[in-house]
């Protein structure tokens, strides 16, 4: 089977790989219907995260179940399923509290790399959610978005305590930031400030519910959000980048008593303790427990209430994965869908 493997920064190849097999009785094997490239895949691509050995890539997936282990009871062969990037049992206390990414049995769901034709997923019953039937082809991009970027944007909005009557600011105009705008709208936010300097992304943000666009960044961006909120800052701020600048921009754009939901994977972020202490803001985030939201998100997509698949603005066959990395790196594509 074909699969994408990163050998070094800037060097990703689609090669023939071993067909995955059931290793544990709780595993499932999927035929991947669609996968994609994540902003976080760009960290090793750019050499910011080291690539120490050839690494199968991809952690977002939808597919059809081809095989299940003998202990799998709820997921069946032939199901079309969506899963998240961490496998979880969905039964332990942490899972039951809605934090499946911190499950006591958590493990990577996509160690074999989802940018491939076949994928082994551990803890299938706790990790995968089946759709009501085989989806219409035009729903597949949206279901794929649910496996990470939508679930992550949604969690960010929940972590930022978005709700009716609130003003929300979103730092980051990648797929997660754009889908956090969509989530904020669905969760009833009154005003949604999207921070973006790119025309195409601003348009999608507006389509998803942004009421204001702020193009300034850093301290200027903070000043602009304050200006738009009577000098107070937003009630809820979503951080969807992961850099020092974006994290501080998020904290400083939040009013005292407000909430920051941070989901950008942090790289060398240091929060000055004294500033945090005197800010009076709530901070919550981390790797999104996408599994918590999957049943609800699949339902919204299935009933065509939301259309998160619009973040995919480039579709490539799996064999052209490297072009997809380049397009996302150069920001000529928001998000790339790969067809095995
Ligand atoms: Zn668990």
CATH code for the domain of 163: 3.40.50.720
User: Taking residues 106-128, what's their average pLDDT?
Assistant: 97
* Domain termination site, one of 270, 285, 300: 285
Burial level of 190, CB count in 10 A (0-12/13-18/19+)? middle
**Share above pLDDT 70 across residues of the chain, in percent, rounded to a whole number:** 100
Span from the CA of 126 to the centroid of ligand 1 (angstroms):
8
The two three-digit tokens of residue 29, written as one number: 């094997």
Asked if 58 and 127 sit in the same domain, the reply is yes
Contact 259, 240 (CB under 8 A): no
Span from the CA of 268 to the centroid of ligand 1 (angstroms):
29
The two three-digit tokens of residue 218, written as one number: 């850093």
**Residue 138: domain span:** 2-148+289-339
Span from the CA of 112 to the centroid of ligand 1 (angstroms):
21
Of 330, 159, 161, 185, the C-alpha closest to 240 is 159
Span from the CA of 130 to the centroid of ligand 1 (angstroms):
19
Residue showing tokens 């919550």: 284
Span from the CA of 83 to the centroid of ligand 1 (angstroms):
15
Contact 189, 210 (CB under 8 A): no
Of 232, 225, 228, 182, the C-alpha closest to 205 is 182
Looking at the 3D structure of the chain, how many domains does it have?
2
Question: What pLDDT digit, counting tens, does each position of 272-330 carry?
Answer: 999 999 999 999 999 999 999 999 999 999 999 999 999 999 999 999 999 999 999 99
Span from the CA of 106 to the centroid of ligand 1 (angstroms):
7
Contact 323, 316 (CB under 8 A): yes
Asked if 133 and 180 sit in the same domain, the reply is no
Within the chain, residue ranges assigned H as helices are 42-45, 93-96, 124-127, 140-146, 149-159, 175-186, 199-208, 218-228, 244-252, 273-279, 290-302, 321-329
Asked if 293 and 281 sit in the same domain, the reply is no
Question: What pLDDT digit, counting tens, does each position of 131-174 carry?
Answer: 999 999 999 999 999 999 999 999 999 999 999 999 999 999 99
Asked if 71 and 142 sit in the same domain, the reply is yes
Residue 190 has pLDDT above 90, yes or no: yes
Asked if 6 and 129 sit in the same domain, the reply is yes
Span from the CA of 125 to the centroid of ligand 1 (angstroms):
11
Span from the CA of 311 to the centroid of ligand 1 (angstroms):
30
Arithmetic mean of pLDDT over the chain: 97
- Helix (H/G/I), strand (E/B), else coil: 200: helix
* Domain termination site, one of 285, 312, 327: 285
Taking the CA atoms of 116, 120, 123 and 124 in sequence, report the sign of the dihedral they define: positive
Span from the CA of 108 to the centroid of ligand 1 (angstroms):
13
Please compute, for residue 267, the number of CA atoms within 13 A of its CA located in the half-sphere on the CB side: 15
Asked if 116 and 16 sit in the same domain, the reply is yes
Span from the CA of 59 to the centroid of ligand 1 (angstroms):
19
Asked if 106 and 223 sit in the same domain, the reply is no
Of 62, 98, 19, the C-alpha closest to 298 is 62
Contact 293, 126 (CB under 8 A): no
d(CA 32, CA 284): 33
Quote the DSSP letter at residue 136. Answer: P
40 pLDDT band, cuts 50/70/90, is confident
Within 111-174, residue ranges assigned H as helices are 124-127, 140-146, 149-159
Q: Radius of gyration over alpha carbons of the chain, in Å? A: 19
- Which residue(s) pair with 63 in the sheet? 32, 81
User: Taking residues 235-260, what's their average pLDDT?
Assistant: 97
Asked if 103 and 203 sit in the same domain, the reply is no
Span from the CA of 251 to the centroid of ligand 1 (angstroms):
31
Span from the CA of 88 to the centroid of ligand 1 (angstroms):
5
Span from the CA of 97 to the centroid of ligand 1 (angstroms):
9
Span from the CA of 287 to the centroid of ligand 1 (angstroms):
15
Span from the CA of 71 to the centroid of ligand 1 (angstroms):
17
Span from the CA of 270 to the centroid of ligand 1 (angstroms):
30
Span from the CA of 105 to the centroid of ligand 1 (angstroms):
6
Of 111, 92, 114, 112, the C-alpha closest to 103 is 92
Asked if 136 and 229 sit in the same domain, the reply is no
What are the φ/ψ torsions at residue 110 (nearest 5 degrees)?
-130, 40
Asked if 243 and 319 sit in the same domain, the reply is no
Asked if 121 and 165 sit in the same domain, the reply is no
Quote the DSSP letter at residue 57. Answer: -
The two three-digit tokens of residue 306, written as one number: 């939301």
Residue 30 has pLDDT above 90, yes or no: yes
Q: Can you give the CATH number for the domain in which 42 is found? A: 3.90.180.10
Span from the CA of 21 to the centroid of ligand 1 (angstroms):
24
pLDDT of residue 141: 98
* Domain termination site, one of 243, 262, 285: 285
d(CA 177, CA 141): 17
Span from the CA of 297 to the centroid of ligand 1 (angstroms):
20
pLDDT of residue 191: 98
Span from the CA of 291 to the centroid of ligand 1 (angstroms):
11
Span from the CA of 198 to the centroid of ligand 1 (angstroms):
39
Neighbours of ion ligand 1 (CB under 5 A): 88-89, 92, 95, 103
User: Taking residues 190-214, what's their average pLDDT?
Assistant: 97
Span from the CA of 92 to the centroid of ligand 1 (angstroms):
4
Span from the CA of 89 to the centroid of ligand 1 (angstroms):
4
Q: How far apart are the first and last CA of the chain?
A: 10
Of 253, 276, 271, 257, the C-alpha closest to 170 is 253
CA angle, 9 then 269 then 99, to 5°: 90
Contact 264, 40 (CB under 8 A): no
Asked if 182 and 276 sit in the same domain, the reply is yes
């Amino acid at each position: 089977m074909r699969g994408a493997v990163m050998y070094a920064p800037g060097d990703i190849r689609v090669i023939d790989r071993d067909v995955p097999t059931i290793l544990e009785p709780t595993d499932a094997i999927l035929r991947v219907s669609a996968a994609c490239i994540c902003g976080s895949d760009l960290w090793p691509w750019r050499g910011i995260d080291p690539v120490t050995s050839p690494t199968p890539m991809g952690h977002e997936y939808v597919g059809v179940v081809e095989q299940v282990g003998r202990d799998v009871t709820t997921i069946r062969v032939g199901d079309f399923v969506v899963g998240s990037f961490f496998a979880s049992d969905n039964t332990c206390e942490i899972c039951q509290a809605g934090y499946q990414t911190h499950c006591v049995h958590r493990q990577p769901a996509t160690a074999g790399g989802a940018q491939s034709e076949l994928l082994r997923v551990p803890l299938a019953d706790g990790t995968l959610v089946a759709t009501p039937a085989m989806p219409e082809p035009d729903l597949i991009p949206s279901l794929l978005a649910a496996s990470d970027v939508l679930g992550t944007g949604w969690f960010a909005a929940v972590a930022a305590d978005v709700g009716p009557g609130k003003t929300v600011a979103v730092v980051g105009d990648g797929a997660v930031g754009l889908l956090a705008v969509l989530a904020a709208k669905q969760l009833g936010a009154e005003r949604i400030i999207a921070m973006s300097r790119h025309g195409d992304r601003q348009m999608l943000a507006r389509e998803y519910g942004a009421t204001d666009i702020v193009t300034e960044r850093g301290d200027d961006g903070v000043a602009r959000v304050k200006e738009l909120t009577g000098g107070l800052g937003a009630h809820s701020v979503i951080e969807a980048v992961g850099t020092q600048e974006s994290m501080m921009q998020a904290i400083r754009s939040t009013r005292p008593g407000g909430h920051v939901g941070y989901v950008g994977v942090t790289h060398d972020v240091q929060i000055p303790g004294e500033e945090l202490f005197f800010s009076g803001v709530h901070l919550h985030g981390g790797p999104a427990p996408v599994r918590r939201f999957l049943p609800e998100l699949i339902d919204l997509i299935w009933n065509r209430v939301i259309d998160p698949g619009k973040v995919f603005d480039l579709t490539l066959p799996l064999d052209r994965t490297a072009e997809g990395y380049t397009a996302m790196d150069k920001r000529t594509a928001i998000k790339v869908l790969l067809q095995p």
